[in-house]
């Protein structure tokens, strides 16, 4: 009985917050400052009780909506004005992603938002992306959701690095971000090869994306290495 009342109260409260969010939709940072204490992010990092899980599931729809809206705004943020909002949302995503069931189709959305944000953002947010990738590779998400999550990351990295690999002199933020991206290549390739028999067709599509990651560091193509992986793919 008590549990039902608590759940109902939280649901009503979440609906109220969603109504407030409509007003703050274009002022996401201000909204997150108001919301952060309510979310109790620090407590959720350590408390995985039944109550916390219930609390999380009620908030999940709102959090994913906010991530999606942020991704849409970043697409039109060529001047990189969303740094504060991105930072706050990364902190929230970093916590909430640990609680999402492995089969949840929203996982690729969360990471694709991260990649879309980083393409236009600063070195600080590139480091946020690094933390999220480390979180990803330290869990079973990448295996359980394979191949859609992995391919989403490969596509995003290709998108982010597309202009970088052809530049002779990179500005520091881009150089740092490119280094972070390329450092994930061995992990991605290892996972690709270990699951090769399950997702052969999807691997073929990702080969060109992986080339960017393989050859970035020294800007030279290593034919034997590329051919080895292509042979494995095909």
**Of residues 13 and 181, which shows the higher confidence score?**
13
Asked if 166 and 187 count as a contact pair (C-beta separation under 8 A), the reply is no
Write the pLDDT tens digit of every residue in 183-210: 555 555 555 555 544 444 444 444 444 4
Asked if 203 and 192 count as a contact pair (C-beta separation under 8 A), the reply is yes
Which of 12, 24, 176 lies closest to 88 in space, CA to CA? 24
Q: What is the pTM of this model?
A: 0.38
pLDDT of 146 higher than 50: no
CA distance between the termini of the chain: 58
Asked if 226 and 175 count as a contact pair (C-beta separation under 8 A), the reply is no
The pLDDT value given to residue 32:
58
Write the pLDDT tens digit of every residue in 16-73: 666 665 665 555 556 655 665 555 555 544 444 444 555 555 555 566 666 666 656 6
Q: Report how far Cα 91 is from the mean position of its chain's Cα atoms.
A: 11
Domain ranges of the chain: 1-100, 110-163+172-200
The pLDDT value given to residue 221:
37
pLDDT range class, residue 220, cuts 50, 70, 90: very low
Write the pLDDT tens digit of every residue in 83-137: 556 556 656 655 555 555 555 555 555 555 555 554 444 444 555 555 555 555 5
Residue 11 DSSP SS3: helix
Q: Where are the alpha helices (DSSP H) in the chain?
A: 2-24, 28-39, 41-44, 50-74, 83-96, 107-120, 123-137, 141-144, 148-161, 172-183, 185-194, 200-215, 223-233
Among 3-17, 70-84, 206-220, the minimum mean pLDDT is found in 206-220
């Amino acid at each position: 009985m008590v549990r039902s009342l608590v759940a109902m109260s939280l649901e009503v409260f979440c609906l109220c917050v969603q109504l407030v969010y409509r007003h703050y939709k274009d002022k996401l940072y201000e909204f997150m400052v108001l919301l952060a204490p309510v979310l109790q992010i620090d407590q959720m990092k350590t408390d995985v009780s039944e109550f916390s899980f219930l609390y999380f599931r009620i908030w999940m729809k709102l959090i994913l909506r906010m991530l999606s809206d942020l991704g849409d705004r970043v697409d039109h943020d060529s001047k990189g004005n969303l740094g504060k909002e991105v930072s706050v949302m990364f902190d929230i995503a970093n916590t909430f992603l640990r609680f999402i069931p492995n089969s949840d189709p929203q996982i690729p959305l969360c990471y694709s938002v991260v990649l879309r944000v980083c393409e236009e953002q600063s070195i600080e947010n590139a480091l946020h992306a690094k933390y999220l990738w480390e979180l990803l590779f330290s869990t079973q998400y990448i295996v359980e959701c394979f191949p859609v999550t992995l391919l989403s990351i490969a596509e995003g990295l290709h998108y982010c690095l597309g202009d970088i690999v052809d530049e002779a002199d990179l500005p520091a933020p881009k150089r740092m971000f490119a280094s972070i991206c390329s450092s994930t290549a061995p992990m991605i390739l290892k996972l690709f090869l270990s699951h090769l028999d399950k997702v052969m067709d999807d691997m073929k599509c990702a080969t060109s994306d992986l080339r960017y990651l393989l050859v970035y560091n020294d800007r030279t193509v290593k034919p034997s290495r590329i051919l080895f992986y292509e042979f494995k793919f095909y």
